[in-house]
Amino acid sequence: MRILGLDLGDKTLGMAVSDSLGLVARPLGTVRFSERDLASALEAARKAVEEHNVQKIVLGLPKHMSGDVGAQAEYCLEFKKLLEKELGLEVIMIDERLTSRMAERVMLEADISRKKRKKNVDKLAATIILQTYLDIHSK
């Protein structure tokens, strides 16, 4: 079963997909769109679902460090409802606190330039979100 991992931002959607066994996540890319344009984000997710024969979606939920749900998390929950309604797939929310920072740190350690880091942080964060889910559920 292939699973799509998503990291939704105000202007970007980072995407990753699992292998067919659901063991390893790999980055797909980052889609850029106008601020909070969920229709464009939905279309990008739809294309990835069709192209990779995805049966489930994992979407990052950006909670505050205190665990509270803020405006950005509400935006992601709105996207979850849209994905479920329009694509008819199960969408699982996973806590994504610090995934962008983890992605940034990995790229810094790999000595990737600032320009390339900015371009790749969202898809790497999506990969971390998906791999976290896969690791939890492979046991």
Residue where the block lists tokens 């900015």: 118
Output the pLDDT for position 37: 97
Domain ranges of the chain: 2-137
| Third-level CATH fold of 2-137 | Nucleotidyltransferase; domain 5 (3.30.420)
Whether the pLDDT of residue 107 is over 70: the answer is: no
Side-chain-side CA neighbours of 104 within 13 Å: the count stands at: 7
Q: Is 0.85 topped by the overall pTM?
A: yes
Cα 54 from Cα 17, distance rounded (Å): 8
**Nearest-5° Cα angle at 61, 130 to 91:** 60
Residues 7, 13: contact at Cβ < 8 Å? yes
Residues, the chain, total?
A: 139
Tell me the pLDDT tens digit for each residue of 19-51.
999 999 999 999 999 999 999 999 999 999 999
Pairing status of strand 90-95 against strand 54-61: parallel
